[in-house]
Structure 1
Amino acid sequence: MYTLYDFLPSGNGYKVRLLLTQLGIPFTYVEKDILEGETRTDDFLKLNPNGRIPLLQLPNGDTLAESNAILNYLAEGTKFLPTDRLEKARALQWMFFEQYSHEPNIAVARFWLTHGTMTAEQKALMPEKQKGGYAALDVMEQQLSKSPYLVGGAYTIADIALYAYTHVAEEGGFDLANYPEVRAWLARVRSQPAHIPITKSPE
Protein backbone atom coordinates (compact mmCIF):
# COMPACT_ATOMS: atom_id res chain seq x y z
CA MET A 1 0.00 0.00 0.00
CA TYR A 2 1.06 3.57 -0.63
CA THR A 3 1.89 5.85 2.29
CA LEU A 4 1.42 9.61 1.93
CA TYR A 5 3.28 11.93 4.27
CA ASP A 6 1.40 15.21 4.18
CA PHE A 7 0.15 18.34 5.97
CA LEU A 8 -3.62 18.77 5.65
CA PRO A 9 -3.68 22.52 4.81
CA SER A 10 -1.07 22.04 2.08
CA GLY A 11 -2.28 22.56 -1.46
CA ASN A 12 0.66 20.56 -2.75
CA GLY A 13 -0.35 17.64 -0.56
CA TYR A 14 -3.99 18.09 -1.52
CA LYS A 15 -3.11 17.50 -5.18
CA VAL A 16 -1.88 14.02 -4.33
CA ARG A 17 -4.76 13.24 -1.95
CA LEU A 18 -7.25 14.27 -4.61
CA LEU A 19 -5.71 12.18 -7.38
CA LEU A 20 -5.27 9.11 -5.19
CA THR A 21 -8.94 9.37 -4.19
CA GLN A 22 -10.14 9.89 -7.76
CA LEU A 23 -8.09 6.92 -8.91
CA GLY A 24 -9.57 4.82 -6.11
CA ILE A 25 -6.12 3.94 -4.77
CA PRO A 26 -6.06 3.15 -1.03
CA PHE A 27 -3.27 4.73 0.96
CA THR A 28 -2.05 5.23 4.49
CA TYR A 29 -2.04 8.87 5.55
CA VAL A 30 0.67 10.22 7.85
CA GLU A 31 0.25 13.82 8.99
CA LYS A 32 3.45 15.84 9.38
CA ASP A 33 2.99 19.28 10.93
CA ILE A 34 5.44 21.49 9.07
CA LEU A 35 4.80 24.32 11.55
CA GLU A 36 6.17 22.12 14.33
CA GLY A 37 9.22 21.02 12.36
CA GLU A 38 8.02 17.45 11.92
CA THR A 39 9.58 17.21 8.45
CA ARG A 40 13.00 18.22 9.79
CA THR A 41 13.53 15.21 12.05
CA ASP A 42 16.29 12.72 11.35
CA ASP A 43 13.77 9.99 10.60
CA PHE A 44 11.88 12.03 8.03
CA LEU A 45 15.04 13.42 6.42
CA LYS A 46 16.11 9.84 5.77
CA LEU A 47 12.96 9.50 3.64
CA ASN A 48 13.24 12.93 2.01
CA PRO A 49 16.52 14.81 2.47
CA ASN A 50 14.75 17.97 1.26
CA GLY A 51 12.53 17.82 4.36
CA ARG A 52 9.28 18.63 2.62
CA ILE A 53 5.84 17.22 2.09
CA PRO A 54 4.12 15.70 0.25
CA LEU A 55 6.15 12.54 0.12
CA LEU A 56 4.75 9.34 -1.36
CA GLN A 57 6.18 6.03 -0.22
CA LEU A 58 5.55 3.29 -2.76
CA PRO A 59 4.50 -0.24 -1.82
CA ASN A 60 8.08 -1.44 -2.44
CA GLY A 61 9.49 1.15 -0.02
CA ASP A 62 10.79 3.60 -2.62
CA THR A 63 9.88 7.25 -2.05
CA LEU A 64 8.90 10.01 -4.43
CA ALA A 65 8.86 13.72 -3.59
CA GLU A 66 7.60 16.87 -5.34
CA SER A 67 3.84 17.03 -5.79
CA ASN A 68 3.73 17.35 -9.56
CA ALA A 69 6.22 14.51 -10.05
CA ILE A 70 3.96 12.37 -7.86
CA LEU A 71 0.92 13.34 -9.93
CA ASN A 72 2.72 12.39 -13.13
CA TYR A 73 3.76 9.04 -11.67
CA LEU A 74 0.28 8.14 -10.41
CA ALA A 75 -1.49 9.32 -13.56
CA GLU A 76 0.66 7.35 -16.01
CA GLY A 77 -1.57 5.02 -17.97
CA THR A 78 -4.80 6.61 -16.71
CA LYS A 79 -7.28 9.07 -18.17
CA PHE A 80 -5.73 11.85 -16.08
CA LEU A 81 -2.61 12.04 -18.26
CA PRO A 82 -2.94 12.47 -22.04
CA THR A 83 -1.35 9.81 -24.24
CA ASP A 84 -0.82 12.14 -27.18
CA ARG A 85 2.77 13.40 -27.07
CA LEU A 86 1.93 17.08 -27.51
CA GLU A 87 -1.05 16.99 -25.14
CA LYS A 88 1.08 15.31 -22.49
CA ALA A 89 3.72 18.02 -22.92
CA ARG A 90 1.03 20.69 -22.56
CA ALA A 91 -0.12 19.13 -19.31
CA LEU A 92 3.46 19.28 -18.07
CA GLN A 93 3.72 22.85 -19.34
CA TRP A 94 0.85 23.90 -17.07
CA MET A 95 2.37 22.01 -14.16
CA PHE A 96 5.67 23.84 -14.59
CA PHE A 97 3.69 27.09 -14.82
CA GLU A 98 2.01 26.19 -11.54
CA GLN A 99 5.32 25.76 -9.76
CA TYR A 100 7.12 28.75 -11.25
CA SER A 101 4.43 31.41 -11.74
CA HIS A 102 1.37 30.44 -9.70
CA GLU A 103 2.42 28.66 -6.49
CA PRO A 104 5.24 31.06 -5.50
CA ASN A 105 2.72 33.90 -5.41
CA ILE A 106 -0.74 32.58 -4.59
CA ALA A 107 0.32 29.77 -2.26
CA VAL A 108 2.95 31.85 -0.48
CA ALA A 109 0.52 34.73 0.11
CA ARG A 110 -2.01 32.24 1.49
CA PHE A 111 0.55 30.71 3.82
CA TRP A 112 1.62 34.10 5.15
CA LEU A 113 -1.97 35.17 5.82
CA THR A 114 -3.23 31.93 7.36
CA HIS A 115 -0.28 30.78 9.46
CA GLY A 116 0.60 33.27 12.14
CA THR A 117 1.59 36.91 12.05
CA MET A 118 3.31 38.22 8.95
CA THR A 119 6.77 39.68 9.39
CA ALA A 120 7.58 43.20 8.26
CA GLU A 121 9.52 41.73 5.35
CA GLN A 122 6.57 39.59 4.27
CA LYS A 123 4.21 42.56 4.45
CA ALA A 124 6.59 44.51 2.24
CA LEU A 125 6.66 41.67 -0.29
CA MET A 126 2.88 41.14 -0.36
CA PRO A 127 2.18 43.64 -3.19
CA GLU A 128 4.69 41.80 -5.34
CA LYS A 129 3.03 38.47 -4.52
CA GLN A 130 -0.38 39.92 -5.36
CA LYS A 131 0.88 41.25 -8.68
CA GLY A 132 2.44 37.92 -9.60
CA GLY A 133 -0.61 35.96 -8.51
CA TYR A 134 -3.00 38.06 -10.56
CA ALA A 135 -0.70 37.74 -13.56
CA ALA A 136 -0.91 33.95 -13.23
CA LEU A 137 -4.70 34.12 -12.94
CA ASP A 138 -4.80 36.28 -16.07
CA VAL A 139 -2.99 33.54 -18.01
CA MET A 140 -5.41 30.92 -16.73
CA GLU A 141 -8.43 33.09 -17.55
CA GLN A 142 -7.23 33.48 -21.11
CA GLN A 143 -6.75 29.75 -21.60
CA LEU A 144 -10.04 28.82 -19.95
CA SER A 145 -11.92 31.20 -22.22
CA LYS A 146 -10.89 28.86 -25.06
CA SER A 147 -11.30 25.44 -23.45
CA PRO A 148 -13.22 23.96 -20.50
CA TYR A 149 -10.04 22.52 -18.99
CA LEU A 150 -6.43 23.59 -19.17
CA VAL A 151 -5.51 20.95 -21.74
CA GLY A 152 -8.39 20.92 -24.17
CA GLY A 153 -11.64 19.21 -23.28
CA ALA A 154 -10.45 16.71 -20.69
CA TYR A 155 -9.82 16.94 -16.96
CA THR A 156 -6.17 16.09 -16.32
CA ILE A 157 -3.48 16.36 -13.67
CA ALA A 158 -2.82 19.86 -15.03
CA ASP A 159 -6.21 20.88 -13.66
CA ILE A 160 -5.53 19.16 -10.35
CA ALA A 161 -2.18 20.93 -10.03
CA LEU A 162 -3.67 24.39 -10.65
CA TYR A 163 -6.92 23.80 -8.79
CA ALA A 164 -5.16 23.06 -5.51
CA TYR A 165 -4.18 26.64 -4.72
CA THR A 166 -6.54 28.50 -7.07
CA HIS A 167 -9.65 27.30 -5.24
CA VAL A 168 -8.30 28.75 -1.97
CA ALA A 169 -6.75 31.85 -3.55
CA GLU A 170 -9.09 34.11 -1.58
CA GLU A 171 -7.33 32.92 1.58
CA GLY A 172 -4.26 34.61 0.12
CA GLY A 173 -6.11 37.87 -0.47
CA PHE A 174 -6.96 37.28 -4.13
CA ASP A 175 -10.37 38.33 -5.42
CA LEU A 176 -11.66 36.05 -8.20
CA ALA A 177 -14.65 38.26 -9.04
CA ASN A 178 -13.03 39.39 -12.30
CA TYR A 179 -12.20 35.85 -13.39
CA PRO A 180 -15.47 34.28 -14.57
CA GLU A 181 -13.78 31.58 -16.64
CA VAL A 182 -11.58 30.56 -13.71
CA ARG A 183 -14.62 30.42 -11.40
CA ALA A 184 -16.56 28.30 -13.90
CA TRP A 185 -13.56 25.98 -14.21
CA LEU A 186 -13.34 25.66 -10.42
CA ALA A 187 -16.97 24.53 -10.42
CA ARG A 188 -16.26 21.97 -13.15
CA VAL A 189 -13.34 20.55 -11.19
CA ARG A 190 -15.47 20.37 -8.02
CA SER A 191 -18.07 18.39 -9.96
CA GLN A 192 -15.63 15.64 -10.93
CA PRO A 193 -16.35 12.15 -9.54
CA ALA A 194 -14.76 11.36 -6.17
CA HIS A 195 -13.84 14.99 -5.56
CA ILE A 196 -12.78 15.75 -1.99
CA PRO A 197 -12.29 19.12 -0.26
CA ILE A 198 -8.85 20.19 0.92
CA THR A 199 -10.10 20.08 4.52
CA LYS A 200 -11.12 16.40 4.41
CA SER A 201 -8.64 14.24 6.26
CA PRO A 202 -8.12 10.78 4.74
CA GLU A 203 -7.92 9.33 8.25
Structure 2
Amino acid sequence: MMTLYSMPSSGNSYKVRLLLALQGRAYQCIDVEYDTEALAKAHESGALPFGKAPTLHLGDDRVLGESNAILFWLGEGSDFIPQDAFARAQMLSWMFWEQNQHEGVIAVRAALLHYAHRKPEATPQRLADLLERGNALLQVMEDALKGRNWLVGDAISLADICLYAYTHTAESRGGFDLSPFPALGAWLDRIAALDGYVGLDG
Protein backbone atom coordinates (compact mmCIF):
# COMPACT_ATOMS: atom_id res chain seq x y z
CA MET A 1 0.00 0.00 0.00
CA MET A 2 1.12 3.53 -0.72
CA THR A 3 2.10 5.77 2.17
CA LEU A 4 1.66 9.52 1.97
CA TYR A 5 3.62 11.79 4.29
CA SER A 6 1.26 14.73 4.45
CA MET A 7 1.26 18.08 6.23
CA PRO A 8 -2.41 18.52 7.22
CA SER A 9 -2.45 22.32 6.94
CA SER A 10 -0.58 22.43 3.62
CA GLY A 11 -2.37 22.95 0.34
CA ASN A 12 0.38 21.05 -1.44
CA SER A 13 -0.29 17.99 0.70
CA TYR A 14 -4.04 18.50 0.46
CA LYS A 15 -4.09 18.44 -3.34
CA VAL A 16 -2.63 14.92 -3.23
CA ARG A 17 -5.14 13.78 -0.60
CA LEU A 18 -7.94 15.26 -2.70
CA LEU A 19 -6.93 13.42 -5.86
CA LEU A 20 -6.54 10.15 -3.95
CA ALA A 21 -10.03 10.63 -2.49
CA LEU A 22 -11.57 11.43 -5.89
CA GLN A 23 -9.94 8.31 -7.31
CA GLY A 24 -11.03 6.20 -4.34
CA ARG A 25 -7.50 4.87 -3.87
CA ALA A 26 -6.39 3.24 -0.64
CA TYR A 27 -3.31 4.59 1.09
CA GLN A 28 -1.79 5.10 4.50
CA CYS A 29 -1.40 8.71 5.63
CA ILE A 30 1.24 9.88 8.07
CA ASP A 31 0.66 13.43 9.30
CA VAL A 32 3.81 15.53 9.59
CA GLU A 33 2.65 18.97 10.65
CA TYR A 34 5.04 21.83 11.34
CA ASP A 35 7.02 21.62 14.57
CA THR A 36 5.82 18.14 15.56
CA GLU A 37 7.62 15.01 16.68
CA ALA A 38 6.23 13.18 13.66
CA LEU A 39 7.91 15.62 11.29
CA ALA A 40 11.21 15.35 13.16
CA LYS A 41 11.04 11.55 12.97
CA ALA A 42 10.27 11.67 9.25
CA HIS A 43 13.35 13.82 8.68
CA GLU A 44 15.53 11.56 10.81
CA SER A 45 14.37 8.40 9.06
CA GLY A 46 14.99 9.82 5.59
CA ALA A 47 11.34 9.48 4.65
CA LEU A 48 11.34 12.96 3.09
CA PRO A 49 14.12 12.97 0.48
CA PHE A 50 13.37 16.57 -0.54
CA GLY A 51 13.03 17.53 3.11
CA LYS A 52 9.33 18.31 2.95
CA ALA A 53 5.82 16.97 2.53
CA PRO A 54 4.07 15.74 0.55
CA THR A 55 6.14 12.69 -0.17
CA LEU A 56 4.58 9.52 -1.55
CA HIS A 57 6.12 6.11 -0.88
CA LEU A 58 4.80 3.76 -3.53
CA GLY A 59 4.98 0.57 -1.50
CA ASP A 60 8.22 -0.66 -3.05
CA ASP A 61 11.57 1.11 -3.15
CA ARG A 62 10.23 4.10 -5.07
CA VAL A 63 9.62 7.46 -3.42
CA LEU A 64 8.14 10.51 -5.12
CA GLY A 65 8.28 14.09 -3.90
CA GLU A 66 6.83 17.40 -5.11
CA SER A 67 3.06 17.70 -5.08
CA ASN A 68 2.41 18.24 -8.77
CA ALA A 69 4.76 15.41 -9.77
CA ILE A 70 2.81 13.16 -7.40
CA LEU A 71 -0.45 14.33 -8.99
CA PHE A 72 0.90 13.53 -12.44
CA TRP A 73 1.97 10.03 -11.41
CA LEU A 74 -1.38 9.31 -9.72
CA GLY A 75 -3.27 10.72 -12.68
CA GLU A 76 -1.42 8.70 -15.32
CA GLY A 77 -3.90 6.76 -17.46
CA SER A 78 -6.94 8.41 -15.84
CA ASP A 79 -9.45 10.97 -17.05
CA PHE A 80 -7.69 13.61 -14.95
CA ILE A 81 -5.04 13.86 -17.70
CA PRO A 82 -6.37 14.87 -21.15
CA GLN A 83 -5.64 12.52 -24.03
CA ASP A 84 -4.99 15.34 -26.47
CA ALA A 85 -1.32 16.37 -26.46
CA PHE A 86 -2.01 20.11 -26.58
CA ALA A 87 -4.60 19.88 -23.79
CA ARG A 88 -2.05 17.97 -21.69
CA ALA A 89 0.46 20.74 -22.29
CA GLN A 90 -2.15 23.33 -21.27
CA MET A 91 -2.78 21.36 -18.10
CA LEU A 92 0.92 21.30 -17.32
CA SER A 93 1.22 25.03 -17.98
CA TRP A 94 -1.41 25.71 -15.30
CA MET A 95 0.39 23.36 -12.92
CA PHE A 96 3.73 25.11 -13.51
CA TRP A 97 2.00 28.48 -13.08
CA GLU A 98 0.48 27.30 -9.81
CA GLN A 99 3.90 26.54 -8.32
CA ASN A 100 5.77 29.44 -9.95
CA GLN A 101 3.24 32.24 -9.46
CA HIS A 102 0.07 31.34 -7.57
CA GLU A 103 1.50 29.46 -4.58
CA GLY A 104 4.19 32.05 -3.90
CA VAL A 105 1.51 34.68 -3.32
CA ILE A 106 -1.82 33.07 -2.34
CA ALA A 107 -0.27 30.40 -0.12
CA VAL A 108 2.38 32.69 1.32
CA ARG A 109 -0.18 35.27 2.47
CA ALA A 110 -2.15 32.52 4.19
CA ALA A 111 1.03 31.18 5.80
CA LEU A 112 1.98 34.59 7.17
CA LEU A 113 -1.44 34.90 8.77
CA HIS A 114 -1.78 31.29 9.91
CA TYR A 115 1.58 30.05 11.19
CA ALA A 116 2.97 31.56 14.39
CA HIS A 117 6.58 31.24 13.25
CA ARG A 118 5.81 33.31 10.13
CA LYS A 119 3.99 36.17 11.87
CA PRO A 120 7.13 38.36 12.23
CA GLU A 121 7.21 38.47 8.41
CA ALA A 122 3.57 39.59 8.22
CA THR A 123 4.23 43.32 7.99
CA PRO A 124 1.35 45.51 6.78
CA GLN A 125 3.31 46.43 3.66
CA ARG A 126 4.04 42.82 2.73
CA LEU A 127 0.47 41.71 3.37
CA ALA A 128 -0.84 44.56 1.24
CA ASP A 129 1.57 43.71 -1.57
CA LEU A 130 0.56 40.04 -1.48
CA LEU A 131 -3.11 41.02 -1.49
CA GLU A 132 -2.68 43.16 -4.59
CA ARG A 133 -0.63 40.52 -6.41
CA GLY A 134 -2.98 37.77 -5.32
CA ASN A 135 -6.03 39.55 -6.65
CA ALA A 136 -4.30 39.87 -10.01
CA LEU A 137 -3.62 36.13 -10.04
CA LEU A 138 -7.20 35.33 -9.05
CA GLN A 139 -8.33 37.53 -11.93
CA VAL A 140 -6.26 35.41 -14.32
CA MET A 141 -8.21 32.38 -13.15
CA GLU A 142 -11.51 34.27 -13.26
CA ASP A 143 -10.89 35.28 -16.88
CA ALA A 144 -9.94 31.72 -17.84
CA LEU A 145 -13.09 30.29 -16.23
CA LYS A 146 -15.61 32.72 -17.70
CA GLY A 147 -18.04 30.71 -19.81
CA ARG A 148 -16.40 27.37 -19.02
CA ASN A 149 -16.51 24.80 -16.23
CA TRP A 150 -12.86 23.76 -16.10
CA LEU A 151 -9.46 25.28 -16.75
CA VAL A 152 -8.60 22.90 -19.61
CA GLY A 153 -11.06 21.37 -22.06
CA ASP A 154 -14.50 20.12 -21.12
CA ALA A 155 -13.61 18.02 -18.06
CA ILE A 156 -11.81 18.35 -14.77
CA SER A 157 -8.06 17.79 -14.97
CA LEU A 158 -5.05 17.90 -12.69
CA ALA A 159 -4.89 21.64 -13.42
CA ASP A 160 -8.13 22.11 -11.50
CA ILE A 161 -7.05 19.84 -8.64
CA CYS A 162 -3.71 21.56 -8.09
CA LEU A 163 -5.10 25.11 -8.26
CA TYR A 164 -8.10 24.31 -6.08
CA ALA A 165 -5.91 23.49 -3.10
CA TYR A 166 -4.75 26.98 -2.17
CA THR A 167 -7.53 28.88 -3.96
CA HIS A 168 -10.39 27.39 -1.96
CA THR A 169 -8.85 28.68 1.30
CA ALA A 170 -7.68 32.01 -0.09
CA GLU A 171 -10.57 33.76 1.65
CA SER A 172 -10.72 31.87 4.94
CA ARG A 173 -6.97 31.62 5.51
CA GLY A 174 -5.46 34.31 3.30
CA GLY A 175 -7.94 37.13 3.79
CA PHE A 176 -8.84 37.50 0.11
CA ASP A 177 -12.33 38.56 -0.93
CA LEU A 178 -13.53 36.11 -3.59
CA SER A 179 -16.87 37.83 -4.24
CA PRO A 180 -15.49 39.80 -7.23
CA PHE A 181 -14.68 36.47 -8.91
CA PRO A 182 -18.03 34.74 -9.62
CA ALA A 183 -16.73 32.30 -12.25
CA LEU A 184 -13.99 31.27 -9.86
CA GLY A 185 -16.53 30.82 -7.08
CA ALA A 186 -18.72 28.61 -9.26
CA TRP A 187 -15.65 26.53 -10.16
CA LEU A 188 -14.85 26.06 -6.46
CA ASP A 189 -18.41 24.88 -5.88
CA ARG A 190 -18.21 22.39 -8.76
CA ILE A 191 -15.10 20.78 -7.32
CA ALA A 192 -16.56 20.64 -3.81
CA ALA A 193 -19.61 18.82 -5.23
CA LEU A 194 -17.58 16.02 -6.85
CA ASP A 195 -18.15 12.43 -5.70
CA GLY A 196 -15.48 11.45 -3.21
CA TYR A 197 -14.55 15.04 -2.39
CA VAL A 198 -12.79 15.70 0.92
CA GLY A 199 -12.00 19.10 2.38
CA LEU A 200 -8.72 20.33 3.77
CA ASP A 201 -9.63 18.98 7.20
CA GLY A 202 -11.28 15.84 5.86
Aligned match of 1:162: 163
1:1-203 paired onto structure 2 within 5 Å? 1-36=1-36, 38-39=38-39, 41=41, 43-44=43-44, 46-116=46-116, 119-123=119-123, 124-170=125-171, 171-200=173-202
What are structure 2's unaligned runs of at least 5 residues?
A: none
Percent identity between the two aligned chains: 40
The SS at the match of 1:20 is helix
Q: Does the CA contact (< 8 Å) of 1:39 and 1:53 recur in 2?
A: no
User: RMSD of the alignment, in Å?
Assistant: 1.7
Q: Does the CA contact (< 8 Å) of 1:143 and 1:150 recur in 2?
A: yes
Q: How far did residue 103 of structure 1 move?
A: 0.7
The SS at the match of 1:35 is coil
What TM-score do the two structures reach when normalised by structure 2?
0.92
Distance 1:63 1:154 in 2: 29
Q: How far did residue 128 of structure 1 move?
A: 1.9
Q: How far did residue 35 of structure 1 move?
A: 3.0
* Number of equivalent positions: 200
Distance 1:153 1:42 in 2: 40
Relative to 1, partners in 2 of residues 1:110 and 1:119: Cα closer, same or farther, differing over 3 Å? closer
The SS at the match of 1:172 is coil
Q: Does the CA contact (< 8 Å) of 1:134 and 1:174 recur in 2?
A: yes
Q: Which residue type is aligned with residue 141 of structure 1?
A: E
Distance 2:164 2:51 in 1: 24
Alpha-carbon displacement from aligned partner over 1:41-77 (angstroms, at most 9, x marks no partner): 5745623333110000002131101100000000010
The SS at the match of 1:147 is coil
The SS at the match of 1:49 is coil
Alpha-carbon displacement from aligned partner over 1:135-184 (angstroms, at most 9, x marks no partner): 11010000000421000210111101010011100110100010000000
